Amino acid sequence: MLFDWDGTLVDSQYANYRAMSGALAPEGVTLEKEWFDARTGLSSAEMIHTLVDERALRLSRPVEQIVADRDELFLKGAHEVRPHTELLKVVDAMHHRLPMAVASGGSRRIIEETLRHQPFHDRFDTLVTRDDVERGKPAPDIFLRAAEELGAAPSRCTVYEDSDEGIAAAHAAGMAVIDVRPFTGTGAHA
C-alpha cells in the first residue's frame, strides 16, 4: 500500500499555503488560496515556476531559495499538522498486514519532520520522496520506486491519493488507486 503525504495522510493544506504565501511575500507576490489549492499536486518549485510563467514575474531570489524559505516556514508549524482520521484508520488496520510506504512529491526533510509528530510515525516500511527520483508526479517514478523498495510488483500495489497528478502517476505506474478526496474533502476534484 502506497500513501501520498500532503492532503492524503495529513491535512497540511493550510500549513503549506501559509508557508508558500510567506515565502513569496518578499517578492511582492500575493498568493491566492484558490490558485494554490488548484495546484496541490505540484512540487513547491514547480508551483513557483508555474506562477512565474502565468504572471510573467521577475523574482529577486532563485526559486531554490524561495523553496528553502518556504520549507523553513513550514517546519516552524510542522507539529500543528494533523492526520486525516479516515486514513489513520486505514494505516492502523493494515499495519503488520501489508507492507506500506509513504510516496510523496514533497521533500524528505519536511515529511520526516512532520511524520515524527504523527500517531502513525512508526507504521511505514519506507519513505520515497521527490528527492529520491528524477521526475515527480504525474510521472510514475515515485510510486515505482516505493514498490521496488517494498519488494512489490506495481500491479499488486494500491495507491491512496488526493490529486489529479498523483492519480495520473499511479495509473502510469500500473497501480490501482483510491481517490481519497471524497473522504477527506481535500484537493480539486477531477
Q: What is the pTM of this model?
A: 0.86
**Residues in CB range of 138: below 8 A, 6 or more apart:** 41, 164, 165, 166, 168, 169, 172
Nearest C-alpha neighbor of 1 from the set 83, 87, 84, 119: 87
119 and 177 part of one domain: yes
- Name the domain count of the chain: 2
Provide the Cα torsion 43, 49, 53, 58; round to 10°.
150
Question: Quick one: 36 and 46 in the same domain?
Answer: yes
* Claim to verify: residue 122 and residue 177 sit in the same structural domain: yes
Q: How far apart are CA 177 and CA 29, in angstroms?
A: 36
- Indicate whether 53 and 72 sit together in one domain: yes
- Give the pLDDT of residue 185: 75
How far apart CA 65 and CA 13 sit, in angstroms, is 21
Residues 6+ apart with CB under 8 A from 126: 101, 102, 146, 149, 150
Q: 189 lies in a domain?
A: no
Query: In terms of domains, do 92 and 61 share one?
Result: no
We report the CATH number of the domain holding residue 163 as 3.40.50.1000
Q: What is the pLDDT of residue 187?
A: 52
Residues 48 and 92 grouped into a single domain: no
Q: Mark whether 161 and 173 lie in a shared domain.
A: yes
Three-state secondary-structure class, residue 118: coil
> Are both 7 and 18 inside the same structural domain?
no
- For residues 178 and 105, membership in a common domain is answered with yes
Same domain, 35 and 51: yes
> What pLDDT sits at residue 186?
63
Domain of 48 in residue numbering reads as: 13-78
Residue 130 · residue 139 · CB < 8 Å: no
Same domain as 96, residue 159: yes
Contacts of residue 117, defined as CB under 8 A and 6 or more positions apart, other chains included, come to 78, 79, 81
Q: How many CA atoms lie within 13 A of 20 on its CB side?
A: 25
* pLDDT in the model for residue 40: 77
CATH number, domain of 37, equals 1.10.150
User: CA Rg, the chain, in Å?
Assistant: 16
Surface-to-core class of residue 73, CB atoms within 10 Å of its CB (0-12 exposed, 13-18 middle, 19+ buried): middle
DSSP state of 60: S
Per-residue pLDDT of the chain (190 residues; tens, 9 = 90+): 999 999 999 999 899 999 999 999 999 999 999 999 888 777 888 899 999 999 999 999 999 999 999 999 999 999 999 999 999 999 999 999 999 999 998 889 999 999 999 999 999 999 999 999 999 889 999 999 999 999 999 999 999 999 898 999 999 999 999 999 998 876 543 3
Indicate if 117 and 136 belong to the same structural domain.
Answer: yes
Which of 44, 78, 112 is where one domain is finished? 78
Residues found in the chain: 190
Q: Is 59 exposed, middle or buried (0-12, 13-18, 19+ CB in 10 A)?
A: middle
In a domain, 190, yes or no: no
